[in-house]
Amino acid sequence: MACSVIIRKTILADLDTVMAVYAVGRELMRESGNPDQWPEGYPPRAAIEEDIHAQCSYVCEKNGEIKAVFCLALGPDSTYSKIDGAWLNDAPYGVIHRIARTRGAKGIGAFCIDWCFGQILNIRIDTHCDNIPMLKLLEKLGFVRCGIIWLDNGDERVAFQKVV
């Protein structure tokens, strides 16, 4: 990515743009054969507002325009407390949730995930089994498939971890 790409904490003034990026993210998922991971209205605006207040929501800007959004939080995360498989370690970790990008921003997801790993050298992330682009990206970036986890609503997700 060019040096005009920056990552910064999301502010409330970004909220409408952030929600628009998530709408595009849902469209891109459906177009790639993943219609079920993010239903219409996900993520809810209130959840993003909570992330902003908790200082764990980030935007990635290229030439001053928001091109991607994500949450990077410190664990433990209750979603990852039970796994059919095994985590690489039990050390403190960060989690990436709700990463999405705009159209035409290929490569920005890898940029964001690499940036997260630069902040926290032990990262966990999960995705839907039908999210082929994300599954391929995580493996390309050196994440190890650790097993299956379950969301609070019972949905299965493929769980990954990367450590230094």
What does the pLDDT look like over 41-77, one tens digit per residue?
A: 999 999 999 999 999 999 999 999 999 999 999 989 9
Cα–Cα distance between 36 and 42 in angstroms, integer? 11
Residues of the domain holding 87: 5-163
Instruction: Quote the pLDDT of residue 95.
Output: 98
What does the pLDDT look like over 93-143, one tens digit per residue?
A: 999 999 999 999 889 999 999 999 999 999 999 999 999 999 999 999 999
Q: How many domains does the chain have?
A: 1
CATH number of 87's domain: 3.40.630.30
Instruction: Quote the pLDDT of residue 1.
Output: 44
| Prediction pTM value | 0.93
What does the pLDDT look like over 28-43, one tens digit per residue?
A: 999 999 998 999 999 9
| Helix H or strand E encompassing 72 | strand 65-74
* Partners of 74 in beta bridges: 94
| Helix H or strand E encompassing 136 | helix 132-140
Instruction: Quote the pLDDT of residue 28.
Output: 95
